[in-house]
Structure 1
Amino acid sequence: MTPSPGTEARPQMAIDDFEELARKAPESVTLQFIDGKLVVKPLPDQLHGAIVMWLLERCLQQRPDLRLYPEQGLKVESYRTGRARADGALAPLDHFVRQEGEWADPDGVLMTVEVTSHDYDTGLRDHIHKRDGYAGAEIPVYLLIDRNAEKVVVYTDPRDGEYQTRTSFPYGATVKVPDPVAITLETEKLKDYTR
């Protein structure tokens, strides 16, 4: 992942300062620290939650050995200098039990999921910054459910901070998420969750 100019050498704050700030943030927002920048995200709407629940059920049905952990805080980017709260992190059952603190190491996470919001910076945050952070952390699959474009995008094969493969599907398509996730999503239901 190529850092934005000036962010790797001079992030907006130290990671410890960010973690302290995130602990004290009001419940109406979620704070993240991506690419050296503080990101403030409002709480998601009801349709966002419905999509996450839909995906959680699909994962559990097809991969009962795994769990999709909603709103999981992860240490991301190449040197674990970022902090992202994934809409979902797919990992083995009880994977995060032995990790302490709010921000878990991403090792062992098979897939991260983001569902776009309708706020002003969702394009940058979900399509670029978080994608690159997850690739930098070498998470094998990044699944993006883009509500604005009504598409499901699957990113795979992270190398050198970038996903090498990107496959996009319109709502209604059959999406085969490859190994190590190995699930199939019939996405017709996502049409019910559009505005």
Structure 2
Amino acid sequence: MDAEEFEGIERVADGEFVRLELVRGEMRTTARADGDRSEAVAWLIRTFVRLRPEYSLYSGYGLKAEVDHRGRLRPDAVLAPAGSFAGHGEWADPAAVLMVVEVTSCEQARDRRTREEKPLVYAETAIPLCLVIDRDGRETVVHGRPENGVYTTVVRHPFGTRVRLPAPVDLTFDSDRLLSLGR
């Protein structure tokens, strides 16, 4: 399926019940946010506003993905300089994106995509950082330095420890709040 076909289908899909993504020409459903996922993203938004007010953490915004931008992904959150998406449509060019955030769901098949497949697509798209909040693993995973379609660094931080996000984000936060997330 090409991106234009996908966008036509996605426009008429009822986003209240299903969210769609396009990965490597295949349309997929994504999990809707549950309470813990929403709380994790809301907490990150508050954290980033406090620590880096020049950035905005956009929740649920669509990105063009893959090397040729044929893919369409909806990360749980997208970090970019404030105002980066003004004038853009529903699917933004990822050039301004500094980091994407993914929070694992309660479904194993989707969790595998969140932990393994989506970071590969984000690396291929040349997004500098991918932060995965792994609820089952009880850890944050920082993927960085994309080269040749893969992140060359992967650093794991157990919930409750300090998490360092390297350049271009350059900040450190305490992940104690994540300890209250359910699995």
TM range (shorter): over 0.9
- Which range moves more in the overlay, 123-132 or 176-185? 123-132
Aligned length: 182
- Where does residue 66 of structure 2 map in the other structure? 77
In 2, Cα distance between the equivalents of 1:156 and 1:120?
24
Gap change, CA 1:123 and 1:193, over 3 Å in 2:
closer
Tell me what 1:94 maps to. Answer: 83
For residues 22-171 of structure 1, the aligned pairs below 5 Å read 22-26=10-14, 27-99=16-88, 101-171=89-159
| 4+ residue runs over 6 A deviation | none
* 1:67-115 deviation per Cα after TM superposition (whole angstroms, max 9, x unaligned): 000001000111111100011100011110022x211000010000000
What's the Cα RMSD here? 1.0
Cα distance in structure 1, aligned partners of 2:70 and 2:2: 9
Q: Distance in 2 between matches of 1:157 and 1:42?
A: 27
Identity %: 37
The answer (yes or no) to whether the contact 1:48–1:117 under 8 Å persists in 2 is yes
The Cα shift of 1:40 comes to 0.4
Quote the Cα distance in structure 2 between the aligned partners of 1:75 and 1:134. Answer: 10
* Counterparts of 2:31 and 2:98, CA distance in 1: 26
Q: Is the contact between residue 67 and residue 125 of structure 2 (CA under 8 Å) also seen in structure 1?
A: yes
With structure 1 as the length reference, what TM-score do the two structures score? 0.90
Code of the residue aligned with 2:160 in structure 1: it is G
